[in-house]
Structure 1
Amino acid sequence: MDSGGDQVSQSHSWTSPVFPACVQDHIKKQDCGKRKMFGIEYYLACLSAFILRNLREQTARRSKKGLYVSACITVGILVIVIIVVICLLCFPSTPRTSEKGEIADTTTTQKGEGTKAIEKKNVYVLPQEYRLPKTLVPSSYELVLTVYLPFYVDIPIRKNLTIDAEVTINMTVRKPTNTIVLNQAGISIIKEKCSATSNGKAVDIEEVDFDHAHGKVSFHLRDSLPVGREVMLKTQNRPQYFGDVPDSVKTTTPV
């Protein structure tokens, strides 16, 4: 009996290990004595309870954090959707560049066998003063240029670096007329060297009228031209060159 008592007292006199303060506080709060556990079993049970408690607390905190992150993501997506909807509602009422300028894209519809829409972009209506009449329609052009360069041939000094041009235009008469109107912006036409023929016969030019404001020249004929008549107009011009001429061309004699 004594030996048995000694064994029991030895089991109760077991020295407890050293735990952190938080664990020791938890052990004091646990009623492990009622479970009739002794020695190392007592401390293991209390330590297990402490670990389980901490796990439950961490799980609860993580769940709250996950809910917070999910809520933030949901709110962000909702804000983006609202912004997109507002942009889509405002886009049709926003004025475009074509609505502000004088030149705009237009769409015209022509009725015929099949109705179709023809898009015309950047339409600019030219004032009537700049337009040529529809009495004549050109069919072909022929241009001959003579360029005068110094030192190559004997020419007057005033002819150096100048250009003579001869233009032949073949036209068909669409409406009866006695006037031929051409564009001549930037071109000097020599009146005395202009001529016109119709069906192989000369047509007298009574007057040449220049409209510098609108860049046109009119050849007034003595006789009216009937519809369907072929006309050939030949003019002599002096185009103007406004570019730079290298000094080597002006002063160097060719080899």
Structure 2
Amino acid sequence: MKTSEKLNIAIIQSDLIWENPEANRLQFERKVNQVDNATDLIILPEMFSTGFSMNASVLAETMSGETVQWMQKMASEKQLAIVGSIIISENDKFYNRLLFVYPSGKIEYYDKRHTFTLAKENEVFSEGKNKLIIEYKGWKICPLICYDLRFPVWSRNVENYDLLIYIASWPKVRISAWDALLKARAIENMCYTIGVNRTGKDGNNYEYVGHSIALDCLGNPLSKETNNDDEIILVQLDKTQQHKTREKLGFLNDKDAFILK
């Protein structure tokens, strides 16, 4: 795979059809097909095929299930990578699993580390154990999920990654925290940071207002402010520019050393 100093990303901010994987796949297929061929990576929200549901025993799929196959099909047809999370059943456990699907169909995955206790996600889903660093087109990417955003130690940039991604179902009532924490994660980790949140209302009547955004390594927005609209947000990241800023300021050189247990 060719490396590139620039990465073209499409953020798909969308309402989700509650607990209806087939309908969500159809709506996202229409949206994915609107993205042009210059795009390198498409980012979808958390649990994009179902909404943030605890009904895992009914909705869970396997790693050879229809939504995984759909992601591979889309990645292959568009010749780009796609990332999003779905409900996975594996070894008699359920996971909120983020899938990074390469154009070749290869899959790397990350299981949500911090399950959302307020919604009792911890009572349904098993927590992940491992942080994932993806290497794609010469970029090192750290993908995380929603509630992980509140725990900066887990995202600490000890791997010298270039891009931090959060996919989410972050409700309107706490959206100011989403805005603030995304900016903080970008600044403290000196990296491009992208947050992708859903819109609309879910089956539990929680409202979501988007606020998906791309930030540079100083916390400055690279995309326009989004509210409660379904839209595709396009952004280009420049690794050379980020490297120059890191070299000039040197903040990552002074980070604390630690080991997570």
Q: TM-score band (shorter)?
A: under 0.3
Question: Which TM-score applies when normalising by structure 1?
Answer: 0.19
Question: Which TM-score applies when normalising by structure 2?
Answer: 0.19
Determine which structure has the larger helix proportion and give its number. 1
- The structure showing larger relative contact order (alpha-carbon pairs under 8 Å, at least 6 residues apart) is 2
Could you say which structure has the larger radius of gyration?
1
